[in-house]
Structure 1
């Protein structure tokens, strides 16, 4: 049997959650667990009701996205983890493409590209992510972290044991907990493999945290980069010849 992939959907008062859940249930990959972690929502909960027979739904006290993801990682039954924000959507072949690649290449982590969609699900910017060489791109990915964050967290699929090696999401970063984790993965020798396909639709809208909390996000990014980039530079100098 193919390995099970758990799709963790952190949820907090989000009207778009039915679209996210349906896109997870519509995956062509046959061995899927859809785990919705309600982070203490006070509204929009009724939108999950029609899906309860097809998903695993758990509720916890509000603590932020990182805590919801970490709880999902702790209780999930999958050997691999994917993360889907409750306002985004997976394309139907998303998990299949990444699992085919990862199993064939013995990869622990893969990520992909994405289109930007608006509040009405319409694509308005295509191929938003940085693109890398289609093969043997692990070194390029490492190098890119010297100047930017090239990884959209919802494009990730990771083996569950990666979180034992690199740790889980840091709740101290409310909006950039994924960026912090990518550095820890890289510095623990976990290569992040890029797949040059668009596999998710990432939503941009006025109610999103990305839109509403830019000053806090910029502060978190600065804190992460000032800490990790000198360490990454030393790591790359030491392992300059890795493939």
Structure 2
């Protein structure tokens, strides 16, 4: 049994989008839908042309990553949702390995380890990544930082339908808010310790260009959710 996986690629003026799409097309998993959500791009749209027959293309007014993800999730016909940023890419066996893990463990959501790369797709080895020995460690990590790289996540679509979509008011930390909210509401996000995604570090990324705005949003998320997370951990893990 190979349930359909919808890979959603939010796209806004990103020169690497063709590499992201190719990595989705090259998945060894046999039942995949690729949805590219064009969030009002004015540049690099020509990079989509070679893939017209391989993707579902959605164009919308610019509203930020959360709105693009939400649009993709609502349009998805897959049972599972994967998010791939336009400047990152998946290793060929990413979906196959992760879906196999999720079905074997009977879980609704999972995330994995990943590698860093630079503007030219060369590996960056000196950047460290969090590794977790058990699921309780994931909860405790969120007391200090966003422990999940959003592009490593695969999650059942019904989870979003039950718990809600990404917060469109958070342009840079919509993923942080989503994962903490899910954990507090009792959804477990299981960790697979395999490096299945390449995360690109470059000077045009939102993470690099909007540090101050990100820090402001992080404070908003933590002020709202950290007390609730502490309460959840005290009640359920300790």
TM-score, normalised to structure 2's length?
0.97
Q: CA deviation at 1:187?
A: 1.1
Q: What SS is found at the alignment partner of 1:168?
A: coil
C-alpha distance in structure 1 between counterparts of 2:31 and 2:129, whole Å: 28
Unaligned runs of 5+ in 1: none
Match of 1:224 among 221, 226, 229: 221
Counting only pairs closer than 5 Å after superposition, residues 165-176 of structure 1 correspond to structure 2 as 165-176=162-173
Pick aligned residue for 1:154 from 132, 135, 151: 151
Deviation sequence 1:138-186 (CA, Å, 0-9, x none): 2111111111111000000000111122211101110000000001110
3-state SS, counterpart of residue 72 of structure 1:
helix
* Number of residue pairs aligned between Structure 1 and Structure 2: 238
Q: Is the 8 A contact 1:186 1:192 kept in 2?
A: yes
- Equivalent residue number for residue 15 of structure 1: 15
- Give me the whole-angstrom Cα distance separating, in 2, the residues matched to 1:109 and 1:55: 24
- In the superposition, relative to structure 1, how do residues 29 and 180 fare at CA in structure 2: closer, same or farther (>3 Å)? same
Any unmatched runs of 5+ in structure 2? Answer: none
Compute the displacement of 1:106 (Å).
Answer: 0.8
Q: Post-superposition shift, 1:61? A: 1.1
TM-score by length of 1: 0.95
1:98, 1:127 → 2: CA distance? 23
- Give the CA RMSD over aligned residues: 1.1
Q: 1:81 to 1:39 in 2, by over 3 A?
A: same
The equivalences for 1:57-206 within 5 A come to: 57-125=57-125, 128-133=128-133, 137-206=134-203
Which ranges of 4 or more aligned residues in structure 1 deviate by more than 2 Å? Answer: 125-129
Return the alpha-carbon distance in structure 2 between the equivalents of residues 157 and 139 of structure 1.
19
